[in-house]
Amino acid sequence: LLGKSQPVLELSKVSDVDVYITKPADYPHAPSKLLLLLTGGTGIHSTNNQLQADKYAAEGFLVVMPDQFEGDPAPNTAHAPPEEHPSFIEQVKLGVVSVAKSFTIDMWLARHTPEKVLPLLHKVLEGAKEEFADAVANGDGVYAAGYCFGAKYVMMLGGELPDTVAWGQKVADEERGVVKKGPLIKAGALAHGTMITKADMEAIRVPVSMACVEGDSLFPDEVREEGKKALETKMVEHENWRLAECQSSL
């Protein structure tokens, strides 16, 4: 599809977490870089997400796409392609979610919080760094890309975070207090971010590229603009692409 050999793919486990792994056709004979790909609510069994991972692999990345939801994808996505039945998060953005459906997605989001998702991603990162040490070394670290739900976690992995959140600890060690750790990735890219906060953006310490939609209620302009100011103040390299700007440049 992209003018290169077809990638090699598999459903497997890394650190006991289900993952979709896709590798360049010439790996390991040719050097590759490790990419952590974080999906939207449709999860790793979505055909669209697998195709996206394969495209990255065709461009030379060794892609690890973890199941962030532990077998519990967003409502309306478990048994149908997302293009036929959009996830509730996508429906929220389209403004077509009823009160009952909003309650359902709120319940789903309550099951998948940073306190649950981040420790899972840390396990995957640790396992992937060991299993694919050559790709990590070749890229001088791990790269990450995320869409919708996954976009927030690209930011969090690229930031300095209190260990009470980032490492799943409920209470800080009273003697040492809260310790900040990270970042855990070299650079990140995200599109159509969901539930990203100003604090998420203020914590970023690695280069980040953001593709955003104007008027997005789940990643409001004011949050993005305030976060952009924080990135500029801390001299963090960043790109902020708006959908309207991208369309005008085509």
CB 65 within 8 A of CB 20: yes
Say if 83 falls within a structural domain: no
pLDDT at 172: 54
Output 192 or 213, whichever has higher pLDDT.
Answer: 192
- Rounded distance between C-alpha atoms, residue 71 and residue 240, angstroms: 32
What's the one-letter identity of residue 149?
F
CATH code at 194? 3.40.50.1820
Q: Does any domain span residue 190?
A: yes
- The whole-angstrom separation of Cα 239 and Cα 208 is 6
Give yes or no for a contact between 80 and 43, defined as CB atoms under 8 angstroms apart. no
Residue 109 domain flag: no
122 falls within a domain:
yes
Kindly tell me if the per-residue pLDDT of 108 is higher than 50: yes
pLDDT > 70 fraction of the chain, expressed in percent and rounded: 78
Total of domains in the chain = 1
Percent of the chain with pLDDT over 90: 56
Which whole number is the average pLDDT over 208-234? 87
pLDDT of residue 168: 58
Model pLDDT, residue 54? 95
Question: Would residue 81 count as lying in a domain?
Answer: no
Alpha carbon 115 to its chain's center: 15
The edge-to-edge listing of strands for the beta sheet with 61-66 is 8-14, 17-23, 61-66, 33-38, 143-147, 187-191, 208-212, 238-242
In a domain, 90, yes or no: no
- The mean pLDDT value for 37-47 works out to 94
What pLDDT is stored for residue 84 in this prediction? 44
pTM for the model: 0.83
Mean pLDDT score of the chain:
83
Look at residue 176 in the predicted model and tell me its pLDDT: 62
Whether 170 has a pLDDT exceeding 50, the answer reads: yes
pLDDT digits (tens, 9 = 90+) for 129-148: 999 999 999 999 999 999 99
Q: Which amino acid is at 205?
A: R
- Confirm whether 129 is domain-assigned: yes
Q: In terms of residue numbers, what domain contains 26?
A: 11-73+114-168+180-243
Q: Is residue 155 part of a domain?
A: yes
More confident residue, 55 or 162: 55
Q: Which tokens is 138 given?
A: 């070749």
pLDDT of residue 83 exceeding 60, the answer is no
Mean per-residue pLDDT, 164-193: 76
